[in-house]
Each structure stands twice: as C-alpha cells, then as structure tokens.
Amino acid sequence: MRIVQNKLIPPKGFIAITLFGIVFARKELNETTKNHEAIHIRQGNEMLWIFFYLWYGIEWLTRLMQYRDKTKAYYNISFEREAYINQLNTQYLIKRMLFSWIKYL
C-alpha cells in the first residue's frame, strides 16, 4: 500500500483518505486504519475507482436525506460499513469475495 504522509490531504479533522489507490495521511497510520484503507482500495479497484466515487457520492446523499446528519450519513455508506466492521480483522481481505460491500447496503 502506498501511503503519502503530508499536511494538506486530507483536510484537518480527517486521518486518511484513499484517492485512486494511494492513501494520503496526515500522520502515521495504525494497523487498524491501514486495514480500513486497504478495504477501500479493494472496493475501489473492483469498481474501477470512477464508479466507486460515483456510488460513494450517491449513497452519501441518499443517507443524508435518510438521516439528516452528515456524520451518520458517512458511517452508513456501505463502503464505510464494510471497512469499519472489518477493519480489526487482519484476515478479512484474504477471504473477502468480490463486491462484498453490497452486503452492507
């Protein structure tokens, strides 16, 4: 996993963001966050990235209308639910099936 540590991306208040397979981080990442981002890389690769961001945006807006709360909307995006629920499981990506995020819709 390629991690670019810097002070610009992501904006203050966030720890890390994965853009087209590269992880941008404001500080050194712990194993849990690395696993979280690795799950997003797997999701992004199988969605050819463009569809990952499209679906991410559409689902965030849908959840925002549903919950009327930005944070709650974010945590309920299926990509995030899959990543948060499995980030402590270091074996998760070994056994993960393609498009597993669909189970978290």
Binding segment for Zn ion (CB under 5 A), chosen from 23-31, 42-50, 69-77, 79-87, is 79-87
CA atoms within 13 A on the CB side of 76: 16
- Considering only 26, 83, 87, 100, the residue that binds Zn ion (CB under 5 A) is 83
Q: Beta-carbon neighbour count of residue 88 at 10 Å? A: 11
Cβ atoms of residues 16 and 23 within 8 Å = yes
Binding mask 21-60 for Zn ion (x = CB under 5 A): ----------------------------------------
77 sits near Zn ion (criterion: CB under 5 A): no
Q: Which contiguous run of DSSP H or E holds residue 4?
A: strand 2-5
Smaller CB separation from Zn ion, 50 or 78: 78
| DSSP 8-state symbol, 104 | G
Q: Which residues bind Zn ion (CB under 5 A)?
A: 80, 83
